[in-house]
Amino acid sequence: MKLVPVAFGGECGEPLAQQLQAVRVFRHARALPVRFQSGAIVYCTRSPPAQTDRHGASVDANNITEAQEARAQADSADLILRAVAFAAHKHRDQRRKDKDASPYINHPIQLATVLWEEGGVRDPKVIAAALLHDTLEDTETTWQELRGVFGEEIADVVLEVTDTKWIKKAVRKRLQVARAAHSSDNAKLVKLADKICNLRDVAAHPPAGWSLERKQQYFDWAKEVVDQLRGTHPELERRFDEVYTLKP
């Protein structure tokens, strides 16, 4: 039986990272409080059957509409949380290339956070695709597996932003530039967030052993890709231009 939020303590638009950190759920109570690290609480209850008169007509369309909206919110949160869990499991043994060897899952979570908090993107499928964006490229995950768990639309976006690893790196980079403009809108959003996060990482926590020249070349290549994405999301493009000024 589905659970839907019926009351909120806190803002629905609070930071994604806080929304994802639910630390307590009482599964067997009549009302189930989910407490977030921010202090916000969402109370969930089992969906009541729709109220109808003897002819089957709705008694209170407003209440039903509110219930449908609440159910949609709960389904969106469930999709995002499932994507986080899936990505965390798939990347569990991987580390970033920075000197601290930070957990790889930090990167897709950063993408989702940029889209949500800086880009105002609220489409749960885009957020989920961002969380999953490296699973095909960097793990043993298959497109068929993603489609089975998250649906074809999300699996296709992840495939669009996936490089073919067996191709030489220089060729892969040229292909990214060539393909960028022809990507779907959702894939472009994920790619924009990816380039923003990667440049921020290279500027602040570059991969160990990278020379100044390699950092500069990476910045320039990222800009080539993003220049093919212009017109997708002005605010995210502005954020990219802002971080590009940090070029070494």
Residues involved in catalysis: 137-138
28 three-class SS = coil
* Segment 106-112 long-range contacts (CB within 8 Å, at least 24 positions apart): 107/134, 107/197, 107/201, 108/132, 108/133, 108/134, 109/17, 109/20, 109/84, 110/197, 111/190, 111/193, 111/194, 111/197, 112/16, 112/80, 112/84, 112/193
Quick one: CA torsion of 209, 239, 82, 162, rounded to 10 degrees? -60
Tell me the CB-side half-sphere exposure of residue 57, using CA atoms within 13 A.
2
Question: What are the residue ranges of helices labelled H in the chain?
Answer: 16-19, 61-90, 106-113, 124-131, 135-138, 143-150, 152-160, 169-180, 185-204, 212-227, 234-244
How many Cβ atoms are within 10 Å of 208's Cβ, its own excluded? 10
How many Cβ atoms are within 10 Å of 140's Cβ, its own excluded? 8
The residue type found at 12 is C
